[in-house]
A and B are shown apart, each in its own frame.
Chain A
Amino acid sequence: MILANSFLPRMLRTRTRTLFANGSVLGAANAPVASIFSPQAILDVMTYNGSLTLSRGKRSRAGGELQQKHKIVNMLSLISPRRKQPRRIKLSYEDLLRHRTVHRAWQLIVRTKRAERGLELQKQYYKMKHACDELRKTSHVLYESAMEKPSPIRFPLEYRIPTLTPPRRIWDATWKPPAEEKKRRRTV
Protein backbone atom coordinates (compact mmCIF):
# COMPACT_ATOMS: atom_id res chain seq x y z
CA MET A 1 0.00 0.00 0.00
CA ILE A 2 3.01 2.28 0.16
CA LEU A 3 2.80 2.56 -3.57
CA ALA A 4 -0.87 3.48 -3.39
CA ASN A 5 -0.19 6.22 -0.86
CA SER A 6 2.53 7.75 -2.96
CA PHE A 7 0.29 8.40 -5.92
CA LEU A 8 -2.74 9.60 -3.95
CA PRO A 9 -2.10 13.34 -4.06
CA ARG A 10 -1.60 13.30 -7.78
CA MET A 11 -4.81 11.39 -8.28
CA LEU A 12 -6.78 13.78 -6.18
CA ARG A 13 -5.47 16.81 -8.00
CA THR A 14 -8.70 18.12 -9.45
CA ARG A 15 -9.39 21.71 -10.26
CA THR A 16 -13.15 21.64 -10.34
CA ARG A 17 -13.48 23.99 -7.39
CA THR A 18 -11.71 26.96 -8.90
CA LEU A 19 -15.09 28.09 -10.09
CA PHE A 20 -16.14 28.85 -6.54
CA ALA A 21 -12.85 30.28 -5.44
CA ASN A 22 -12.33 33.12 -7.86
CA GLY A 23 -15.52 33.23 -9.87
CA SER A 24 -13.95 32.12 -13.11
CA VAL A 25 -15.09 29.07 -14.96
CA LEU A 26 -11.92 28.37 -16.80
CA GLY A 27 -10.34 26.30 -14.06
CA ALA A 28 -12.69 23.32 -14.29
CA ALA A 29 -10.61 20.24 -14.68
CA ASN A 30 -9.77 17.83 -17.36
CA ALA A 31 -9.40 14.31 -16.10
CA PRO A 32 -5.79 13.70 -15.16
CA VAL A 33 -3.87 11.05 -17.07
CA ALA A 34 -5.42 7.85 -15.84
CA SER A 35 -3.53 5.26 -17.81
CA ILE A 36 -0.52 4.97 -15.49
CA PHE A 37 -2.35 5.67 -12.28
CA SER A 38 -5.57 3.74 -12.81
CA PRO A 39 -6.50 1.25 -10.06
CA GLN A 40 -6.07 -1.67 -12.44
CA ALA A 41 -2.55 -0.60 -13.42
CA ILE A 42 -1.54 -0.15 -9.79
CA LEU A 43 -2.90 -3.56 -8.97
CA ASP A 44 -0.97 -5.17 -11.77
CA VAL A 45 2.23 -3.67 -10.39
CA MET A 46 1.37 -4.88 -6.92
CA THR A 47 0.56 -8.41 -7.99
CA TYR A 48 3.75 -8.49 -10.02
CA ASN A 49 5.74 -7.59 -6.91
CA GLY A 50 3.84 -10.29 -5.05
CA SER A 51 2.60 -8.14 -2.15
CA LEU A 52 -1.16 -8.29 -1.84
CA THR A 53 -2.09 -8.36 1.83
CA LEU A 54 -4.55 -5.84 3.17
CA SER A 55 -5.09 -7.26 6.65
CA ARG A 56 -2.33 -8.83 8.67
CA GLY A 57 -2.65 -12.37 10.04
CA LYS A 58 -5.93 -13.10 8.30
CA ARG A 59 -6.16 -16.55 6.83
CA SER A 60 -7.01 -16.50 3.13
CA ARG A 61 -9.50 -18.92 1.70
CA ALA A 62 -9.31 -20.64 -1.66
CA GLY A 63 -9.60 -18.03 -4.37
CA GLY A 64 -9.05 -15.38 -1.74
CA GLU A 65 -6.51 -13.60 -3.83
CA LEU A 66 -9.02 -12.84 -6.54
CA GLN A 67 -11.52 -11.56 -3.98
CA GLN A 68 -8.87 -9.38 -2.49
CA LYS A 69 -8.03 -8.05 -5.88
CA HIS A 70 -11.66 -7.08 -6.49
CA LYS A 71 -11.80 -5.49 -3.10
CA ILE A 72 -8.77 -3.35 -3.75
CA VAL A 73 -10.02 -2.33 -7.19
CA ASN A 74 -13.30 -1.34 -5.59
CA MET A 75 -11.60 0.71 -2.90
CA LEU A 76 -9.20 2.44 -5.25
CA SER A 77 -11.92 3.23 -7.73
CA LEU A 78 -13.56 5.38 -5.09
CA ILE A 79 -10.68 7.81 -4.97
CA SER A 80 -9.84 7.59 -8.62
CA PRO A 81 -11.25 10.37 -10.81
CA ARG A 82 -11.15 8.15 -13.87
CA ARG A 83 -14.39 8.34 -15.84
CA LYS A 84 -16.24 9.75 -12.84
CA GLN A 85 -15.35 13.36 -13.29
CA PRO A 86 -17.90 15.66 -14.90
CA ARG A 87 -17.13 17.43 -18.14
CA ARG A 88 -15.55 20.82 -17.89
CA ILE A 89 -18.12 23.60 -17.98
CA LYS A 90 -18.00 25.45 -21.25
CA LEU A 91 -19.79 28.76 -21.09
CA SER A 92 -20.61 30.94 -24.05
CA TYR A 93 -19.54 34.57 -23.87
CA GLU A 94 -23.03 35.65 -22.79
CA ASP A 95 -23.22 32.96 -20.13
CA LEU A 96 -19.81 33.90 -18.81
CA LEU A 97 -20.92 37.52 -18.66
CA ARG A 98 -24.03 36.45 -16.79
CA HIS A 99 -22.03 34.40 -14.34
CA ARG A 100 -19.66 37.27 -13.62
CA THR A 101 -22.53 39.73 -13.21
CA VAL A 102 -24.17 37.46 -10.64
CA HIS A 103 -20.88 37.07 -8.82
CA ARG A 104 -20.27 40.82 -8.70
CA ALA A 105 -23.82 41.52 -7.55
CA TRP A 106 -23.27 39.06 -4.73
CA GLN A 107 -20.00 40.72 -3.75
CA LEU A 108 -21.75 44.08 -3.73
CA ILE A 109 -24.42 42.76 -1.37
CA VAL A 110 -21.84 41.26 0.95
CA ARG A 111 -19.90 44.52 1.01
CA THR A 112 -23.01 46.60 1.71
CA LYS A 113 -24.03 44.30 4.53
CA ARG A 114 -20.58 44.47 6.07
CA ALA A 115 -20.57 48.27 5.87
CA GLU A 116 -24.02 48.48 7.45
CA ARG A 117 -22.98 46.21 10.27
CA GLY A 118 -19.79 48.22 10.81
CA LEU A 119 -21.77 51.43 10.98
CA GLU A 120 -24.19 49.93 13.46
CA LEU A 121 -21.35 48.77 15.68
CA GLN A 122 -19.76 52.19 15.46
CA LYS A 123 -22.99 53.83 16.56
CA GLN A 124 -23.27 51.41 19.46
CA TYR A 125 -19.69 52.20 20.40
CA TYR A 126 -20.36 55.94 20.49
CA LYS A 127 -23.45 55.35 22.62
CA MET A 128 -21.30 53.38 25.03
CA LYS A 129 -18.61 56.04 25.09
CA HIS A 130 -21.19 58.76 25.70
CA ALA A 131 -22.70 56.78 28.58
CA CYS A 132 -19.27 56.20 30.11
CA ASP A 133 -18.35 59.89 29.85
CA GLU A 134 -21.60 60.91 31.52
CA LEU A 135 -21.09 58.37 34.26
CA ARG A 136 -17.61 59.72 34.89
CA LYS A 137 -18.99 63.25 35.18
CA THR A 138 -21.76 62.09 37.49
CA SER A 139 -19.98 59.84 39.95
CA HIS A 140 -16.42 58.71 39.73
CA VAL A 141 -17.00 55.92 42.26
CA LEU A 142 -19.70 54.37 40.09
CA TYR A 143 -17.53 54.96 37.06
CA GLU A 144 -14.62 53.06 38.52
CA SER A 145 -16.84 50.15 39.57
CA ALA A 146 -18.29 50.08 36.04
CA MET A 147 -14.83 49.98 34.48
CA GLU A 148 -13.83 46.91 36.47
CA LYS A 149 -13.46 43.90 34.23
CA PRO A 150 -14.32 40.49 35.60
CA SER A 151 -11.43 38.10 35.30
CA PRO A 152 -11.77 35.60 33.77
CA ILE A 153 -14.70 36.70 31.61
CA ARG A 154 -17.26 33.92 31.84
CA PHE A 155 -19.19 33.23 28.69
CA PRO A 156 -22.51 31.43 29.17
CA LEU A 157 -22.81 27.91 27.79
CA GLU A 158 -26.46 28.51 26.94
CA TYR A 159 -25.53 30.76 24.06
CA ARG A 160 -26.59 29.23 20.76
CA ILE A 161 -25.82 30.09 17.18
CA PRO A 162 -28.88 30.89 15.03
CA THR A 163 -29.95 27.97 12.86
CA LEU A 164 -31.97 27.74 9.66
CA THR A 165 -34.97 26.23 11.44
CA PRO A 166 -35.92 26.45 15.12
CA PRO A 167 -35.24 23.62 17.61
CA ARG A 168 -37.99 21.31 18.85
CA ARG A 169 -38.44 23.21 22.06
CA ILE A 170 -38.00 26.81 21.04
CA TRP A 171 -38.06 28.39 24.48
CA ASP A 172 -37.65 26.86 27.92
CA ALA A 173 -40.33 28.88 29.72
CA THR A 174 -40.35 26.74 32.86
CA TRP A 175 -36.72 27.37 33.79
CA LYS A 176 -35.99 27.64 37.51
CA PRO A 177 -32.74 28.48 39.25
CA PRO A 178 -30.83 25.46 40.58
CA ALA A 179 -31.69 24.22 44.08
CA GLU A 180 -28.40 25.34 45.61
CA GLU A 181 -29.06 28.84 44.48
CA LYS A 182 -32.44 28.75 46.24
CA LYS A 183 -30.90 27.55 49.50
CA ARG A 184 -28.29 30.23 49.35
CA ARG A 185 -30.94 32.88 48.89
CA ARG A 186 -32.90 31.61 51.89
CA THR A 187 -29.90 31.73 54.19
CA VAL A 188 -28.66 35.13 53.09
Chain B
Amino acid sequence: MTLRHVPGPLRPHTVGLVEQFVRPARRQGGRSIGTAAAKEITTEAESSLLSSTTSSVAESPASVAFKIMSGLILCRQPIVTPELTPFESAYYNYQSELQKRLMWTFPKWFYYPEGTLAERQFSSVQPTVDGSDRTEFEKPDIVFNRDRRSKQEVVFPERDVERETEESAKIYAKIEPRSRITEADKTIDFRSLERKLDRTLYLLVKKDRQANEWKFPAAEVLNGESLTGAAKRLLLHTGGPNMNTWLVSNTPAAYHHYPYKPEDNEAYDGAKIFYLKSRIFAGTFVPQKESGIIDYAWLTKDEIPDYVHKGYWASMANALSKQ
Protein backbone atom coordinates (compact mmCIF):
# COMPACT_ATOMS: atom_id res chain seq x y z
CA MET B 1 0.00 0.00 0.00
CA THR B 2 1.37 3.41 -0.91
CA LEU B 3 0.54 6.27 1.42
CA ARG B 4 0.05 9.76 0.11
CA HIS B 5 -0.54 12.73 2.37
CA VAL B 6 -3.11 14.62 0.33
CA PRO B 7 -5.57 16.46 2.50
CA GLY B 8 -8.74 15.12 0.98
CA PRO B 9 -12.32 14.48 1.95
CA LEU B 10 -12.91 12.01 4.73
CA ARG B 11 -14.00 8.55 3.93
CA PRO B 12 -17.44 8.01 5.39
CA HIS B 13 -16.41 5.06 7.53
CA THR B 14 -13.61 6.96 9.29
CA VAL B 15 -15.89 9.69 10.61
CA GLY B 16 -16.93 7.90 13.76
CA LEU B 17 -13.53 6.37 14.40
CA VAL B 18 -12.23 8.82 16.95
CA GLU B 19 -15.15 8.24 19.26
CA GLN B 20 -14.88 4.53 18.65
CA PHE B 21 -11.20 4.11 19.46
CA VAL B 22 -10.75 6.81 22.04
CA ARG B 23 -13.58 6.58 24.50
CA PRO B 24 -14.39 9.80 26.33
CA ALA B 25 -12.75 9.80 29.75
CA ARG B 26 -15.60 11.62 31.43
CA ARG B 27 -17.76 8.52 31.46
CA GLN B 28 -15.13 6.47 33.31
CA GLY B 29 -13.20 9.10 35.21
CA GLY B 30 -15.95 11.47 36.26
CA ARG B 31 -16.76 9.53 39.37
CA SER B 32 -13.21 9.12 40.60
CA ILE B 33 -12.54 12.83 40.55
CA GLY B 34 -15.68 13.52 42.47
CA THR B 35 -15.13 16.92 44.02
CA ALA B 36 -16.78 20.00 42.64
CA ALA B 37 -13.48 21.84 42.35
CA ALA B 38 -12.02 19.15 40.13
CA LYS B 39 -15.12 19.26 37.92
CA GLU B 40 -14.70 22.98 37.48
CA ILE B 41 -11.11 22.54 36.43
CA THR B 42 -11.95 19.85 33.92
CA THR B 43 -14.69 21.90 32.36
CA GLU B 44 -12.20 24.74 32.09
CA ALA B 45 -9.71 22.45 30.46
CA GLU B 46 -12.33 21.25 28.03
CA SER B 47 -13.45 24.74 27.12
CA SER B 48 -9.87 25.93 26.61
CA LEU B 49 -9.25 22.88 24.50
CA LEU B 50 -12.31 23.59 22.39
CA SER B 51 -11.22 27.17 21.82
CA SER B 52 -7.74 26.05 20.84
CA THR B 53 -9.09 23.55 18.32
CA THR B 54 -11.40 26.09 16.77
CA SER B 55 -8.62 28.65 16.50
CA SER B 56 -6.25 26.15 14.92
CA VAL B 57 -8.90 25.21 12.40
CA ALA B 58 -9.39 28.86 11.56
CA GLU B 59 -5.66 29.37 11.16
CA SER B 60 -5.15 26.35 8.95
CA PRO B 61 -7.52 26.29 6.03
CA ALA B 62 -7.27 23.36 3.66
CA SER B 63 -5.52 25.40 0.97
CA VAL B 64 -2.38 25.88 3.11
CA ALA B 65 0.25 23.22 2.51
CA PHE B 66 1.71 21.85 5.72
CA LYS B 67 4.77 19.76 6.24
CA ILE B 68 3.71 16.70 8.24
CA MET B 69 6.24 15.69 10.86
CA SER B 70 6.49 12.85 13.31
CA GLY B 71 7.89 13.73 16.74
CA LEU B 72 9.08 11.61 19.60
CA ILE B 73 8.47 12.07 23.32
CA LEU B 74 11.19 9.73 24.54
CA CYS B 75 11.14 9.29 28.29
CA ARG B 76 12.92 7.39 31.03
CA GLN B 77 10.47 6.13 33.63
CA PRO B 78 11.17 6.81 37.33
CA ILE B 79 13.52 4.26 38.90
CA VAL B 80 12.71 4.93 42.55
CA THR B 81 9.46 5.75 44.31
CA PRO B 82 8.51 9.38 44.81
CA GLU B 83 9.99 11.34 47.70
CA LEU B 84 7.79 11.19 50.83
CA THR B 85 6.41 14.32 52.41
CA PRO B 86 7.07 14.81 56.17
CA PHE B 87 3.45 13.87 56.93
CA GLU B 88 3.63 10.70 54.84
CA SER B 89 6.81 9.47 56.52
CA ALA B 90 5.36 10.31 59.95
CA TYR B 91 2.19 8.39 59.08
CA TYR B 92 4.13 5.32 57.92
CA ASN B 93 6.19 5.45 61.10
CA TYR B 94 3.01 5.62 63.21
CA GLN B 95 1.51 2.64 61.39
CA SER B 96 4.63 0.51 61.78
CA GLU B 97 4.81 1.32 65.50
CA LEU B 98 1.18 0.31 65.88
CA GLN B 99 1.90 -2.93 64.07
CA LYS B 100 4.87 -3.68 66.33
CA ARG B 101 2.73 -2.98 69.37
CA LEU B 102 0.13 -5.49 68.16
CA MET B 103 2.65 -8.20 67.28
CA TRP B 104 2.80 -11.49 69.15
CA THR B 105 5.71 -12.23 71.45
CA PHE B 106 8.78 -13.64 69.74
CA PRO B 107 8.78 -17.46 70.34
CA LYS B 108 12.31 -17.80 71.63
CA TRP B 109 11.90 -21.47 72.54
CA PHE B 110 11.28 -22.38 68.92
CA TYR B 111 14.33 -20.68 67.41
CA TYR B 112 16.66 -21.26 70.35
CA PRO B 113 16.02 -24.65 72.00
CA GLU B 114 16.41 -24.70 75.74
CA GLY B 115 19.82 -25.51 77.13
CA THR B 116 21.78 -24.73 73.99
CA LEU B 117 24.66 -22.29 73.69
CA ALA B 118 22.72 -20.27 71.15
CA GLU B 119 19.90 -19.84 73.65
CA ARG B 120 22.31 -18.55 76.27
CA GLN B 121 23.87 -16.12 73.83
CA PHE B 122 20.46 -14.89 72.77
CA SER B 123 19.17 -14.48 76.30
CA SER B 124 22.26 -12.62 77.45
CA VAL B 125 21.70 -9.74 75.04
CA GLN B 126 17.98 -9.31 75.66
CA PRO B 127 17.00 -6.18 77.58
CA THR B 128 15.48 -6.86 80.99
CA VAL B 129 11.80 -6.04 81.10
CA ASP B 130 10.37 -5.05 84.46
CA GLY B 131 7.60 -2.72 83.33
CA SER B 132 8.94 0.13 85.45
CA ASP B 133 9.73 2.31 82.43
CA ARG B 134 6.10 3.31 82.15
CA THR B 135 4.77 5.58 84.84
CA GLU B 136 1.17 4.52 84.86
CA PHE B 137 -1.31 3.16 87.31
CA GLU B 138 -1.65 -0.07 85.36
CA LYS B 139 -0.02 -3.19 86.60
CA PRO B 140 2.82 -4.40 84.35
CA ASP B 141 1.83 -7.52 82.41
CA ILE B 142 5.05 -9.42 81.78
CA VAL B 143 4.90 -12.76 79.99
CA PHE B 144 7.89 -14.47 78.32
CA ASN B 145 10.09 -11.47 79.12
CA ARG B 146 7.77 -9.07 77.37
CA ASP B 147 5.54 -6.38 78.79
CA ARG B 148 2.35 -7.06 76.86
CA ARG B 149 1.29 -3.44 77.15
CA SER B 150 4.02 -2.33 74.75
CA LYS B 151 6.01 -3.55 71.77
CA GLN B 152 8.80 -6.08 72.19
CA GLU B 153 12.42 -5.22 71.54
CA VAL B 154 14.23 -8.29 70.20
CA VAL B 155 18.01 -8.02 70.02
CA PHE B 156 19.96 -10.58 68.06
CA PRO B 157 23.47 -11.52 69.22
CA GLU B 158 26.27 -10.32 66.99
CA ARG B 159 28.06 -12.84 64.85
CA ASP B 160 31.43 -14.17 65.97
CA VAL B 161 33.87 -12.36 63.71
CA GLU B 162 36.81 -14.69 64.42
CA ARG B 163 34.96 -17.79 63.28
CA GLU B 164 33.71 -16.16 60.13
CA THR B 165 34.98 -17.51 56.82
CA GLU B 166 35.03 -15.54 53.60
CA GLU B 167 31.98 -17.33 52.28
CA SER B 168 29.88 -16.88 55.39
CA ALA B 169 30.93 -13.25 55.57
CA LYS B 170 29.64 -12.82 52.06
CA ILE B 171 26.33 -14.45 52.89
CA TYR B 172 25.76 -12.54 56.10
CA ALA B 173 27.12 -9.22 54.84
CA LYS B 174 24.81 -6.38 55.72
CA ILE B 175 22.88 -5.12 52.74
CA GLU B 176 23.40 -1.41 52.40
CA PRO B 177 20.84 0.37 50.27
CA ARG B 178 22.15 2.62 47.53
CA SER B 179 21.66 6.33 47.80
CA ARG B 180 18.73 7.87 45.98
CA ILE B 181 20.94 10.83 45.14
CA THR B 182 23.47 9.92 42.46
CA GLU B 183 26.67 11.48 41.13
CA ALA B 184 24.70 12.94 38.22
CA ASP B 185 22.43 14.70 40.72
CA LYS B 186 25.41 16.29 42.44
CA THR B 187 27.12 17.46 39.25
CA ILE B 188 23.76 18.33 37.59
CA ASP B 189 24.60 16.40 34.46
CA PHE B 190 21.65 16.96 32.14
CA ARG B 191 22.97 14.41 29.67
CA SER B 192 22.94 11.61 32.23
CA LEU B 193 20.04 9.20 32.61
CA GLU B 194 20.95 8.59 36.26
CA ARG B 195 19.71 11.99 37.36
CA LYS B 196 16.44 12.58 39.29
CA LEU B 197 15.68 8.91 39.86
CA ASP B 198 12.19 9.56 41.20
CA ARG B 199 11.02 11.57 38.19
CA THR B 200 10.30 10.93 34.54
CA LEU B 201 13.02 12.32 32.28
CA TYR B 202 12.20 13.54 28.77
CA LEU B 203 14.65 13.88 25.90
CA LEU B 204 15.04 17.33 24.37
CA VAL B 205 17.43 18.10 21.51
CA LYS B 206 19.04 21.37 20.49
CA LYS B 207 19.46 22.39 16.87
CA ASP B 208 21.73 25.05 15.46
CA ARG B 209 19.30 27.87 14.72
CA GLN B 210 18.24 31.29 15.99
CA ALA B 211 14.88 30.64 17.67
CA ASN B 212 13.21 27.56 19.13
CA GLU B 213 16.52 25.77 19.52
CA TRP B 214 15.32 23.26 22.07
CA LYS B 215 12.56 20.88 21.06
CA PHE B 216 11.48 17.31 21.25
CA PRO B 217 13.06 15.46 18.31
CA ALA B 218 10.97 15.44 15.13
CA ALA B 219 11.38 14.49 11.47
CA GLU B 220 9.36 14.81 8.31
CA VAL B 221 7.09 11.91 7.37
CA LEU B 222 8.25 10.80 3.95
CA ASN B 223 5.91 9.60 1.26
CA GLY B 224 4.77 6.07 1.88
CA GLU B 225 5.73 6.18 5.56
CA SER B 226 3.54 5.99 8.63
CA LEU B 227 4.02 8.12 11.76
CA THR B 228 5.50 5.12 13.53
CA GLY B 229 7.93 4.37 10.72
CA ALA B 230 9.09 7.97 10.63
CA ALA B 231 9.56 8.00 14.41
CA LYS B 232 11.69 4.85 14.30
CA ARG B 233 13.82 6.27 11.50
CA LEU B 234 14.14 9.52 13.43
CA LEU B 235 15.38 7.74 16.53
CA LEU B 236 17.98 5.75 14.58
CA HIS B 237 19.25 8.80 12.67
CA THR B 238 19.43 11.17 15.62
CA GLY B 239 20.42 8.98 18.55
CA GLY B 240 22.15 5.98 16.98
CA PRO B 241 21.25 2.31 17.26
CA ASN B 242 22.45 1.71 20.84
CA MET B 243 19.18 2.38 22.62
CA ASN B 244 16.64 -0.10 23.87
CA THR B 245 13.35 1.69 23.33
CA TRP B 246 9.69 0.84 23.12
CA LEU B 247 7.04 2.76 21.24
CA VAL B 248 3.97 2.85 23.43
CA SER B 249 1.38 3.19 20.68
CA ASN B 250 0.88 4.13 17.04
CA THR B 251 -1.51 6.86 18.17
CA PRO B 252 -0.12 10.38 18.52
CA ALA B 253 -0.19 11.75 22.07
CA ALA B 254 0.40 15.44 21.34
CA TYR B 255 0.18 17.86 18.47
CA HIS B 256 1.93 21.12 17.62
CA HIS B 257 1.79 23.29 14.52
CA TYR B 258 3.55 26.49 13.50
CA PRO B 259 3.83 28.63 10.35
CA TYR B 260 7.13 29.05 8.56
CA LYS B 261 8.54 32.54 8.14
CA PRO B 262 9.64 33.79 4.70
CA GLU B 263 13.30 33.73 5.77
CA ASP B 264 13.06 30.01 6.54
CA ASN B 265 13.15 29.21 2.80
CA GLU B 266 10.77 26.30 3.14
CA ALA B 267 8.58 24.88 0.40
CA TYR B 268 5.67 24.65 2.85
CA ASP B 269 3.68 27.30 4.64
CA GLY B 270 4.02 25.63 7.99
CA ALA B 271 4.57 22.39 9.85
CA LYS B 272 2.35 20.04 11.80
CA ILE B 273 4.09 17.78 14.29
CA PHE B 274 2.43 14.68 15.71
CA TYR B 275 4.20 13.34 18.76
CA LEU B 276 4.37 9.66 19.65
CA LYS B 277 5.26 8.46 23.13
CA SER B 278 8.21 6.17 23.65
CA ARG B 279 10.18 4.71 26.55
CA ILE B 280 13.87 4.04 26.92
CA PHE B 281 15.06 1.07 29.02
CA ALA B 282 18.80 0.91 28.35
CA GLY B 283 21.54 2.40 26.21
CA THR B 284 22.80 5.88 25.48
CA PHE B 285 21.60 8.64 23.21
CA VAL B 286 24.55 9.57 20.97
CA PRO B 287 23.75 12.52 18.70
CA GLN B 288 24.61 11.65 15.09
CA LYS B 289 26.54 14.09 12.95
CA GLU B 290 24.18 14.17 9.98
CA SER B 291 21.13 14.93 12.12
CA GLY B 292 22.17 18.53 12.85
CA ILE B 293 21.77 18.10 16.59
CA ILE B 294 24.35 20.00 18.60
CA ASP B 295 23.17 19.22 22.12
CA TYR B 296 20.67 17.17 24.05
CA ALA B 297 19.30 16.98 27.59
CA TRP B 298 17.22 14.65 29.74
CA LEU B 299 14.83 16.90 31.66
CA THR B 300 11.95 16.60 34.08
CA LYS B 301 8.62 18.27 33.33
CA ASP B 302 9.47 21.17 35.66
CA GLU B 303 12.72 21.94 33.87
CA ILE B 304 11.46 21.92 30.29
CA PRO B 305 9.75 25.40 30.37
CA ASP B 306 13.17 27.03 30.92
CA TYR B 307 14.37 25.61 27.61
CA VAL B 308 11.47 25.81 25.19
CA HIS B 309 9.31 28.57 23.69
CA LYS B 310 6.08 29.50 25.49
CA GLY B 311 3.72 28.57 22.67
CA TYR B 312 5.47 25.26 22.17
CA TRP B 313 5.23 24.47 25.89
CA ALA B 314 1.50 25.29 25.86
CA SER B 315 0.84 22.56 23.33
CA MET B 316 3.14 20.01 24.97
CA ALA B 317 2.71 20.50 28.74
CA ASN B 318 -0.47 18.53 29.27
CA ALA B 319 0.85 15.49 27.40
CA LEU B 320 3.65 14.96 29.93
CA SER B 321 3.36 13.44 33.37
CA LYS B 322 4.11 15.41 36.51
CA GLN B 323 5.92 12.78 38.51
Q: State A176–B242 Cα separation when bound (angstroms).
A: 5
Asked if B53 and A84 sit within 8 Å, CB to CB, the answer is no
B90 to chain A, nearest CB (A): 9
A97 at the interface (CB under 8 A from B): no
Asked if B102 and A125 sit within 8 Å, CB to CB, the answer is no
A13 to chain B, nearest CB (A): 14
Asked if A175 and B46 sit within 8 Å, CB to CB, the answer is no
A107 to chain B, nearest CB (A): 11
Q: Point out the residues of chain B lying under 8 angstroms from A120, CB to CB.
A: 321-322
B94 to chain A, nearest CB (A): 7
A175 to chain B, nearest CB (A): 4
Asked if A123 and B14 sit within 8 Å, CB to CB, the answer is no
Q: Point out the residues of chain A lying under 8 angstroms from B141, CB to CB.
A: 87
Asked if A115 and B34 sit within 8 Å, CB to CB, the answer is yes
Q: State A171–B192 Cα separation when bound (angstroms).
A: 9
14 inter-chain pairs at a CB distance below 8 angstroms, sorted by A residue, are: A102-B94, A122-B26, A122-B45, A124-B319, A124-B321, A128-B253, A131-B253, A136-B10, A162-B82, A165-B178, A166-B180, A171-B194, A175-B284, A176-B241
Q: State A78–B106 Cα separation when bound (angstroms).
A: 9
What 1/0 flags go to B171-194 for Cβ under 8 Å of A?
Answer: 000000111101000000000011
Question: Interface size bucket, A side?
Answer: 35 or more
Residue from the list A148, A165, A171 in contact with B80, Cβ < 8 A: A165
Q: State A165–B305 Cα separation when bound (angstroms).
A: 29
Asked if A84 and B107 sit within 8 Å, CB to CB, the answer is yes
A40 to chain B, nearest CB (A): 14
Asked if B91 and A131 sit within 8 Å, CB to CB, the answer is no
User: Which of A2-10, A47-55, A137-145 faces chain B?
Assistant: A137-145
A125 to chain B, nearest CB (A): 5
B23 to chain A, nearest CB (A): 9
Which among B32, B221, B275 has the greatest number of chain A C-beta atoms within 10 A? B32
Q: State A165–B197 Cα separation when bound (angstroms).
A: 9
Q: State A163–B81 Cα separation when bound (angstroms).
A: 5
* A147 with B321, Cβ < 8 A, contacts A122-B42, A132-B18, A138-B5 known: no
B6 at the interface (CB under 8 A from A): yes
A183 at the interface (CB under 8 A from B): no
Asked if B38 and A175 sit within 8 Å, CB to CB, the answer is no
Interface residues of B in 261-311 (CB under 8 A from A): 272, 274-275, 279, 281-284
Q: Point out the residues of chain A lying under 8 angstroms from B197, CB to CB.
A: 166, 170
Q: State A143–B226 Cα separation when bound (angstroms).
A: 9
Interface residues of A in 90-116 (CB under 8 A from B): 102, 105-106, 109, 111, 114-116
User: Which of B143-151, B160-168, B207-215 faces chain A?
Assistant: B143-151
Residue from the list B45, B143, B255, B281 in contact with A123, Cβ < 8 A: B45
B137 at the interface (CB under 8 A from A): no
A41 at the interface (CB under 8 A from B): no
Asked if B109 and A165 sit within 8 Å, CB to CB, the answer is no
Residue from the list A17, A109, A175 in contact with B244, Cβ < 8 A: A175
Asked if A74 and B103 sit within 8 Å, CB to CB, the answer is no
* A159 with B253, Cβ < 8 A, contacts A139-B5, A165-B80, A176-B242 known: no
Asked if A164 and B80 sit within 8 Å, CB to CB, the answer is yes
* A145 with B110, Cβ < 8 A, contacts A118-B38, A122-B29, A126-B46 known: no
A163 to chain B, nearest CB (A): 6
Asked if B193 and A124 sit within 8 Å, CB to CB, the answer is no
Q: Point out the residues of chain B lying under 8 angstroms from A45, CB to CB.
A: none
What 1/0 flags go to B310-323 for Cβ under 8 Å of A?
Answer: 00000000110110
